[in-house]
Structure 1
Amino acid sequence: MKKIISTIAVFGIFFTGNAIAADCPKDLPTIEPGKLTMSINATIPPRQYIDDSGNLQGLHPDLGNEIAKRLCLEPAYMNVEFAVQIPGLATKRWDMVNTGMYYKPERAQIMRMVPYVVNALALVVERGNPMGVTGYESLAGEPVATEIAGFADNLIRTINDEQVANGMESMDIKAFNTFAEAFAALGAGQVKAVFGPDAVAAYYAERGSFDVGASGLNPGLPSSFGFDGKTGQRLSQAVAKVLRDMVEDGTYDRLMSSYGATQIQFWDDYVGDVAVYYNPE
């Protein structure tokens, strides 16, 4: 299922006379002139979600809206599952992936990536943590949910393979289309834990639905904006420049701090500035 979200309707923003400035990039190659179309999977509060009024909320849309404003473009979103987002760049369904996609060197071989925030992962469990989950080993032989095709899905399978090689019982890993579905399965007792971003874990724990069994797992993994490898050079460089400007004027710090997010300069591989990563084979 996909949903097109126009921020004219959702956020009631757009251009004032001051927004269209002389330093706006000219003729950026977007799929629809005057718009920055971004894919997002709005099922991961507090980073990206639809609130009770039907509005798109979270750190990632806030960043996307600010970037679009500074590029003098109208922000628009297509709410789709993660599995279709990278292929959608090549088929020109959207200009930019803005869904908290993890940076990986192998991804940077096929697409242009702009890392912007550092993440960690967590195991979310039933209220009260009845199994006493403290880490991956606690879930040997148990059903564990995550979101399909993402970094967490690949990582939990790698960890499970390592545990099995060491003589432990295999987890029963269940990959769902969205984290919302994964947490619904946890609430229904179909799985014993959900493996996903620690910010999501904290969000649900604060609302009393679940508890966090373990957090801060595999720290240092950055989320990145994604752009088509072949055609995304100008747009990716323009977005990286906007982020550098936001760092300089304090907007980046204010946004990251408001969501309790770890800034990109704490990434172990940070090169001293926001940059585009692209290393085609």
Structure 2
Amino acid sequence: MTLTATSRFTTHSFRALLCSVAVALTANSVQAQDCTPRIADEFLVEPATLTMATSPTLPPMAYADQTGALKGLRIELGIEIAKRLCLTPKYISTEYATMIPGLQSDRWDMVNAGLFVTEARRKILLMIPYESLAISISTNAGDTSITKIDDLAGKTLSTDIGGYAERKMKELNVEFKDRGLAEMRLNLFDNYATVYQALRAGQVEAAVSIDPVAKQYQDRGEFTQALSGMYATPGSLSLLKEDVAAGVSTALKEMKADGSFDALMNSYGVIQAPGDLSFLPFAE
């Protein structure tokens, strides 16, 4: 099962994804089953179609391979949800800054990019927490110098700029300083590929990412996932229309009941967020 982007992706940089690109289904892609759509056309951007915004810059959660085909946990999850709703899945690749405005302007039905659940977002979005995003620390294979959080004190680390990991590491530096420990030196990069390139090149002593990314590199035998499960926070599917949110939630609960949800999450080393896969109503 593949989804092919209408734009050309490079293998060396994810920056080509900074402009919004519609992703069309190929003839071999999963199509909606021969059944009646479970969400009425009046609630959808396109008839009988579940249009989803994603950011394919985070392997193994969502990424484009060398041919431009979209892959990853989030991509597979969206395809399965659409299938169960008897809708055709359609992805639009875009940057995070455009996701909520695009949802509000009816460019897509759902943001499928693991947006963190916050009180501010809950005031404007219907959110379905489903994945627990936690931070990992990776070291070079065989390096056993980091076995607990305090071992990070005084070390040079790489992480992605402007992300959750950067914020948590800066908060940890404040804690280290208050406790009289040496602060970490943070080298910031545009994406996790370059975060790990810095570790590979010896520019840093450890790389900070999220659990699925660190696990993928460890499974490849490239690095060691020295610490994991740090500062877990729920990531969500985000929507605006209650009819769409209710349908997506129902599909997720069906996946949970038949075991396919857990199987998919486990295959990527991702833990389910707390909750029963219901959508959270708008906060006051």
TM-score (norm 2): 0.80
> Which stretch of structure 1 is more off in the superposition, 205-214 or 20-29?
20-29
Residue 21 (structure 1) aligns with: 35
1:55 to 2:69 alignment? yes
Distance in 1 (alpha carbons) for counterparts of 2:57 and 2:193: 6
Distance in 1 (alpha carbons) for counterparts of 2:272 and 2:264: 10
Distance in 2 (alpha carbons) for counterparts of 1:236 and 1:7: 23
Distance in 1 (alpha carbons) for counterparts of 2:105 and 2:155: 39
Question: Does structure 2 retain, via aligned residues, the 8 Å contact 1:28–1:234?
Answer: no
Distance in 1 (alpha carbons) for counterparts of 2:242 and 2:141: 46
Question: Does structure 1 retain, via aligned residues, the 8 Å contact 2:131–2:270?
Answer: yes
Distance in 2 (alpha carbons) for counterparts of 1:258 and 1:236: 25
CA shift in 2, pair 1:211/1:52, >3 Å: same
1:143-222 alignment, distance < 5 Å: 143-219=156-232, 221-222=233-234
1:218-229 alignment, distance < 5 Å: 218-219=231-232, 221-227=233-239
Question: Does structure 2 retain, via aligned residues, the 8 Å contact 1:145–1:195?
Answer: yes
Distance in 2 (alpha carbons) for counterparts of 1:241 and 1:252: 12
Distance in 2 (alpha carbons) for counterparts of 1:112 and 1:277: 6
CA positional deviation for 1:243: 0.8
Q: Deviations over 1:50-88 (max 9, x none)?
A: 234432112111100011122333222233343443444
SS in structure 2 of the partner of residue 190 of structure 1:
coil
Q: Deviations over 1:21-68 (max 9, x none)?
A: 236221253333443222222233322222344321121111000111
Candidates 222, 239, 243, aligned match of 1:234: 243
CA shift in 2, pair 1:3/1:126, >3 Å: farther
Distance in 2 (alpha carbons) for counterparts of 1:128 and 1:10: 45
Question: Does structure 2 retain, via aligned residues, the 8 Å contact 1:123–1:135?
Answer: no
CA positional deviation for 1:252: 1.8
Q: Which runs of 5+ in 1 are unaligned?
A: none
SS in structure 1 of the partner of residue 82 of structure 2:
helix
Distance in 1 (alpha carbons) for counterparts of 2:49 and 2:161: 29
Residue 256 (structure 1) aligns with: 265
Residue 12 (structure 2) aligns with: none
1:8 to 2:11 alignment? no
Distance in 2 (alpha carbons) for counterparts of 1:129 and 1:81: 35
Q: Which runs of 5+ in 2 are unaligned?
A: 1-17
Question: Does structure 1 retain, via aligned residues, the 8 Å contact 2:20–2:95?
Answer: no
CA shift in 2, pair 1:178/1:97, >3 Å: farther
Distance in 2 (alpha carbons) for counterparts of 1:162 and 1:93: 42
Q: Deviations over 1:187-230 (max 9, x none)?
A: 233333222221211110121222222122234x3221112xxx
1:69-88 alignment, distance < 5 Å: 69-88=83-102
Residue 277 (structure 1) aligns with: 280
Question: Does structure 2 retain, via aligned residues, the 8 Å contact 1:6–1:75?
Answer: no
The count of residues paired between Structure 1 and Structure 2 equals 267
Q: Deviations over 1:215-273 (max 9, x none)?
A: 22234x3221112xxx4322222211111122223332332333343234xx2xx2xx3
Question: Does structure 1 retain, via aligned residues, the 8 Å contact 2:196–2:207?
Answer: yes
Distance in 2 (alpha carbons) for counterparts of 1:97 and 1:151: 18
Give the RMSD, CA atoms, in angstroms.
2.7
Q: Sequence identity, in percent?
A: 35
Q: Deviations over 1:78-130 (max 9, x none)?
A: 33343443444334443322123333344323322101133432111233327
Residue 89 (structure 1) aligns with: 103
1:104 to 2:104 alignment? no
CA shift in 2, pair 1:155/1:112, >3 Å: farther
Distance in 2 (alpha carbons) for counterparts of 1:42 and 1:110: 24
Residue 6 (structure 2) aligns with: none
SS in structure 2 of the partner of residue 216 of structure 1:
strand
Candidates 111, 114, 126, aligned match of 2:128: 114
CA positional deviation for 1:139: 2.8
Question: Does structure 2 retain, via aligned residues, the 8 Å contact 1:41–1:79?
Answer: yes
Question: Does structure 1 retain, via aligned residues, the 8 Å contact 2:127–2:236?
Answer: yes
Distance in 1 (alpha carbons) for counterparts of 2:230 and 2:28: 34
